[in-house]
Amino acid sequence: MAGSAYRARRFAVALVFMAGFAAVLIRLFNLQVLQAAELTVKADRQHSKTVTLEGPRGTIYDRHGKMLAINVEVPSVFGVPASLDNPSGVARYLSPVLHVRAAEIERKLKQDRSFVWLARKLDPDQGRRLEQMPLDGIGIVMEGRRFYPKGPLLSHVLGFAGMDGQGLEGLERRYETYLHGEKRIVVLQRDALGRTVFPKDLREQTPAAGHSLTLTIDEVIQYVAEKELEAAVNATHAKSGILIAMEPRTGAVLALALSPRFDPNAVAALSPDRWRNKALTDAYEPGSTMKVIVGAAALEEKVMTPGSLVFCENGRMTVANTIIHDHEKSGWMTFAQVIQRSSNIGAAKAAMALGENRFYRYLQAFGFGERTDIDLPGEATGLLKNPRSWGRRSLASIAMGQEIGVTPLQLIVAVSAVANGGLLMKPYIVSEIRDAGGRLVRQGAPQVRRRVISAETAGTLSRILEGVVTQGTGTKAAIPGFRVAGKTGTAQKIDPRTGAYSPTQFVGSFVGYVPADDPRLAMIVVIDEPQTEAWGGSVAAPVFRRVAEQVLPYLGVTSSEAVKLAMAM
Amino acid sequence: MKTLTLLAAMLLLLAFVWERVDIVRLGYRIERLKSDKVRLERERDELQVRVSSLTSPERIAKVATEKLGMAPPRQDQVVLVRLEPEVPSPTAPTEFEIRLAKSDALRKVR
């Protein structure tokens, strides 16, 4: 009996053990087989973390190698909530250094997450202070921040990059594929507390930096342009201003200034309207500066010579039941005088002599209605209607710069063609792209798009345009000792409320080049809605003069007087 | 002879151990220098940023006009001098220009 009782007890114990093992086995089967996939993912998420390391963004230089945009390593601060005992104490401690409210930091540190950003891309000084206060569960990583050391200088061209280093506007966006650094994905292991275990050779794994850009822009010319443009916009209480300076022979942009400016280091608070590069994204009715093109076409097609006499109807002419006015009443004028005194009637008559199709062909040839293909984003084509949809007044209107939309860039490129002996150049702004090792990857070179007029016509027109500055509407652009050629423009703006030309809103402009016999600098100045005086000759021509006066000696262009003086000494 | 062999063996062993220790020591030094390099590179970048901020034309113009009382030269103050090199060489440019800013004081002396 005792034997069977013993056996039964043994059997019971064995049963208990077997039941226990069976339970473990079932649990194991459940975990290892049934839930295997799901749990593996969960485990990976807990102990490993994928981080994308990115090489620094490429630097942007001006034509003389001055830095315009650069990447700096700045500290970013993160917290690991799981390894913090006293979140509120840590928050109070960090608050004054991070310039973030303690309550905000505390809220982040109490989250049920393994990793939280506390503050990103701080100043290097803040980083040094943080390094001196070692705190468990708080870490610093270095991240690249885009920095524009010259502040607002050239901001509309440079654009800016976002928090994660992606180019959002301007050159930063246009050349994103070249500028951004190499990306490399690294898997970091984390221990039980969620602390990051960095692989030892992480430093050697640093991905390569992005390509650097060298621009055709000259920092000094850009500065002079921005300074003088801003002064003019302020003095005339204008809404805004645009200035583009170019080398007429190459199409290289030397300066592109807009007023008001913005600081690309602090764009968060600004509206897109402030950073849009209106020199090429917005078309406007150019007004009388268009007469340069009328002159080029009429001279090339030989419908006019500089001495051709044109009757200017004493300042009033009826076209298609509307009246065209001149700002000064005159009778007979030479064609040269028509351009120099900016007669609307004379220009309209020249365009009529050309006829719709011929005039349209020249407008197209000079690049209106198509992009200049400059290497900047967002360029507009402007508005050039096909002659089939022109009205009876269109020919006369376009001749005086109405019914046509052009960008300031298109206009300066077109006038540069006159300065360049009739060759239309493609404008460009990036002259070199080099990789992180300094090897040349791409080069921007002068590119002729087409011949628009003969060299002879260009020379004849150039002498007429010199007359604009010596005796016409552009005398305020004259620079003693230099031969300046150019054309003024005063355009009425269309009032969006009435749809008609506003009697009070104007765009004053001047486009020209210097020295006329050996052009080194072409420039357009556009002042939008000046409140004092509207005439392009009064508001824009002086800006041309002040900029050219400072830039020409800087470029080493001799004035004819200086040569005489030097020879006399 | 026996002691000599023993001495030689010991020396060899010592040299071997010393070499090992040296490798470790150098390894530490390399590590230290590497982290120095990273630190210095960062410092260089920071200084570069400061240099380009400090040399911005806007700031230079401000310091020059407001602190140092300078002004951009007027046109009559700039003289271009063309110089013929003393010994014309086939490689050197035949003429070059030097720009001088002539001061008012200089004119008074003359």
Q: What is the pLDDT of residue A519?
A: 96
The Cα A494–Cα A516 span in angstroms is 34
Residues of A in contact with B61 (CB under 8 A): 223, 227
The tens-digit pLDDT sequence of chain A (569 residues) is 567 888 899 999 999 999 999 999 999 999 888 888 888 887 777 666 666 777 889 999 999 999 999 988 888 888 888 777 788 888 888 888 888 888 888 888 888 777 788 888 887 778 778 877 777 778 787 788 898 999 999 999 999 998 778 899 999 999 999 999 888 777 766 666 655 555 555 555 678 889 999 999 999 999 999 999 999 999 999 999 999 999 999 999 999 999 999 999 888 778 888 899 999 999 999 999 999 999 999 999 999 999 999 999 998 999 989 999 998 888 999 999 999 999 999 999 999 999 999 999 999 999 999 999 999 999 999 999 999 999 999 999 999 999 999 999 999 999 999 999 999 999 999 999 999 989 999 999 999 999 999 999 999 999 999 999 999 999 999 998 899 999 999 999 888 888 888 888 999 999 999 999 999 999 999 999 999 888 989 999 999 999 999 999 889 887 766 555 555 55
Has residue B90 got a pLDDT over 70?
A: no
| Active-site residue, selected from the candidate residues A155, A288, A342, A559 | A288
Is the CB of residue A489 less than 8 Å from the CB of residue A510? yes
Residues B27 and A404: their CA atoms lie apart, in Å, by: 73
Report the C-alpha gap between A241 and A228 in whole angstroms: 10
Whether residues B61 and A549 touch (CB distance < 8 A) is answered with no
Alpha helices (runs of H) in A136-271, residue ranges in sequence order: 155-158, 170-174, 176-179, 219-235
Closest to A410 measured CA to CA, from A544, A251, A297: A251
Q: What percent of chain A has pLDDT over 70?
A: 93
A555 touches chain B (CB under 8 A): no
* Residue A205, min C-alpha distance to chain B (Å): 13
DSSP string, B4-71: HHHHHHHHHHHHHHHHHHHHHHHHHHHHHHHHHHHHHHHHHHHHHHHHHHHT-HHHHHHIIIIIS---
- pLDDT of B74 reads 76
The residues pairing with A54 across neighbouring beta strands, listed in sequence order, are A183
Alpha-carbon span A264 to A287, nearest angstrom: 33
Q: Which residue of A has its CA nearest to B73?
A: A550
Across chain A, mean pLDDT equals 89
Closest in B46, B73, B97 to A124, CB measured: B46
**Beta carbons within 10 angstroms of residue A447's beta carbon:** 12
Of B34, B72, B78, the CB nearest to A562: B78
Could you tell me the pLDDT band of residue B86, with boundaries at 50, 70 and 90? low
Residue A422 phi, psi (nearest 5): 100, 0
pLDDT (tens digit, 9 = 90+) per residue, A489-527?
A: 999 988 888 888 888 899 999 999 999 999 999 999 999
Distance from B17 to chain A by nearest Cα, in Å?
27
A560 is catalytic: no
What's the length of chain B? 110
Task: Give me the percent of chain B exceeding a pLDDT of 90.
Answer: 34
SS3 string, A315-330, reads: HEEEECCEEEECCCCC
Task: Give the C-alpha separation, A408 to A508, whole Å.
Answer: 12
Contact between B78 and A553 using a beta-carbon 8 Å cutoff: yes
Beta-carbon contacts of A185 under 8 Å, excluding residues fewer than 6 positions away, are A50, A51, A52, A53
Partner residues linked to A49 by β-bridges: A188
Cis peptide before A134 (omega within 30 of 0): no
- Looking at residue A31, the DSSP 8-state letter turns out to be I
Q: Output the six-digit token pair for A14.
A: 């064995």
Nearest to B75 among A203, A224, A559 (CB): A559
| Residue B98 C-alpha, separation from nearest chain A C-alpha, in angstroms | 9
Q: Which of A473, A476, A477 is nearest to A490 (CA)?
A: A473
Output the average pLDDT for chain B. Answer: 77
Q: Which pair of tokens denotes residue A326?
A: 């001149």
Q: Mutating which of B80, B82, B110 best tests the A interface, going by the most A Cβ atoms within 10 A?
A: B80
Locate B42 and state its tokens: 């960062």
How far, in Å, are A3, A20, A433 from residue A14 at the CA level? 16, 10, 80
Question: What is the CB-side half-sphere exposure of residue B21 using CA atoms within 13 A?
Answer: 6
- What pLDDT, on a 0 to 100 scale, did the predictor assign at position B94? 42
Helix, strand, or coil here: A98? helix
Per-residue confidence (pLDDT) for residue A20, from 0 to 100: 94
Amino acid at site A436: A
CB proximity A558 to B under 8 Å: yes
Q: Is A514 on the interface with B (CB under 8 A)?
A: no
Give me the torsion for CA of A23, A26, A30, A33, rounded to 10°. Answer: 140
Strands A60-61 and A212-215: parallel
State the pLDDT at residue B41.
Answer: 85
Contacts of A556 in chain B (CB under 8 A): 80, 97, 99
Q: Which pLDDT score is estimated for A193?
A: 61
The whole-angstrom separation of Cα B102 and Cα B92 is: 27
Residue A129 pLDDT: 82
CA pair distance A238, A260, nearest whole angstrom = 10
| Amino acid at residue number A287 | G
Q: How far is B19 from chain A (nearest CA, A)?
A: 25
CB-based contact A350:A317 (threshold 8 Å): no
**Residues in chain B closer than 8 A to A565 (CB atoms):** 79
* pLDDT for the residue numbered B96: 43
Tokens representing A507? Answer: 């765009």
A 36-75 residues inside an 8 A Cβ radius of B: 66-67, 70, 72-73
Instruction: Count A/B contacts: CB-CB distance under 8 Å.
Output: 70
* Interface with A, mutate which of B49, B54, B110 (most A CBs under 10 A): B49
CB A383 within 8 A of CB A422: no
CA B102 from chain centre, in angstroms, equals: 32
The three-point CA angle A171-A74-B63 to 5° equals 70
Return the closest-CA partner of residue A299 out of A263, A335, A345, A262: A335
> By the 8 A CB rule, do A64 and A218 touch?
yes
- Residue of A73, A201, A263 to mutate, testing the B interface (most B Cβ within 10 Å of its Cβ): A73
